[in-house]
Amino acid sequence: MSSTKLLLENNNGVFLYKKDFGQESNWRSDNYYKFIYSLMGTIDYQTNRSQLTLHNQHFILFNPLDEHKQLAIDDRKFLIELNPSFLNEVSQALYPVHNDIQFATHIQKNSQISNWVRFVLDFVQLEKDDTKSMEIFLEHSFTQLALMLLKSAVGTHTQDINLNTYKTIDPQIYKTILALKEDYQHSWTLNEMAKVANLSKFQFAHYFKDILGISPYSWLQTYRVVKSQEMLKKNITLY
C-alpha cells in the first residue's frame, strides 16, 4: 500500500492502517474497543499492570477506558476501534450477556483473524478510491470482526475456549490444549505438557507461544478463569 496512513470510519467504528509513526508514548484511554494487530516486526505496549510485546500476527484488545501507551513499533500497525454499543449489540445477539463485554488484556493469535486482516488490506488497497464500495465493505467488515472476536477472544462473555481452529491446522497443539482443558485443575508441569505434544519442553514452550501468542501457563490460567467465571454465573442463577 503506497499510502503511509489510511483512516476510514463509520458509526460502528474506525479503521486505521499506518506505516510511519511519530511519538506516541503518551498514556491513552479511548471510548472504543481497540483491536491492534501487528503486521510485521514487534509492537511494545504498556498498561497499568504489565508491559506487552506483540510479534508478527499477534493482536491485543483494549477495553473502553483501558489506559495504555505504545512504547515502540518496528514496522506497521493495523488498528480498528469498535463502537461499544455496536459490539455489545452483536454480543447480545449471540450470548445472554446484559453488561458491557470486558475482554482479557493479553496477547493472542488466531489464524482466522490473520486471514481476515490480509483480506481486508487487499481489498482496501484495490478499492480505497471507490468511496461507496468502501462504505459498504467497512460496514460488513466491522460486523465480521466483532463476530470473530466474540467467538475467539476471551472475555466476560466467554463460556468456553473454542479449539476448532487448532484441530486441523496444528494437531499437536490441539491435542495438548484439549488435555489441559480436560484436566485444568491439575498442577501441570512443562514436562507433562510437552510429553502430550511429543516435544521437548524447550521446543514445546517456544512452539506453543508461537502458535497461540501466549505461554502454556498463561493459557491454562486464562482457561481456569473462564471456568471459574462460568461456575460463578451458574451459582448466581441458582440463587
Q: Kindly tell me if the per-residue pLDDT of 23 is higher than 60.
A: no
What kind and span of H or E run contains 13? strand 13-18
Q: What is the mean pLDDT of residues 141-157?
A: 90
Domains of the chain: 5-152 (2.60.120.10), 164-238 (1.10.10.60)
DSSP-assigned letter for residue 76: E
Instruction: Identify the bridge partners of residue 10 per DSSP, sorted by sequence position.
Output: 13
pLDDT of residue 234: 63
Share of the chain above pLDDT 70, in %: 91
What mean pLDDT comes out for the span 165-185?
88
Q: What is the mean pLDDT of residues 88-102?
A: 83
Residues sharing a CB contact under 8 Å with residue 118, sequence separation 6 or more, in sequence order: none
pLDDT at 147: 94
pTM of the prediction? Answer: 0.83
Using CA atoms, how far apart are residues 196 and 193, in angstroms rounded to an integer?
A: 5
Pick the more confident residue, 235 or 53. Answer: 53
Query: Shortest CA distance to 151 belongs to which of 208, 90, 78, 63?
Result: 90
Give one DSSP letter per residue of 214-227, joined into a string.
Answer: S-HHHHHHHHHHHH
Is residue 42's pLDDT more than 80? yes
pLDDT of residue 239: 44
Question: Is the per-residue pLDDT at 1 higher than 80?
Answer: no
Average pLDDT, whole number, for the chain? 86
Contact 15, 8 (CB under 8 A): yes
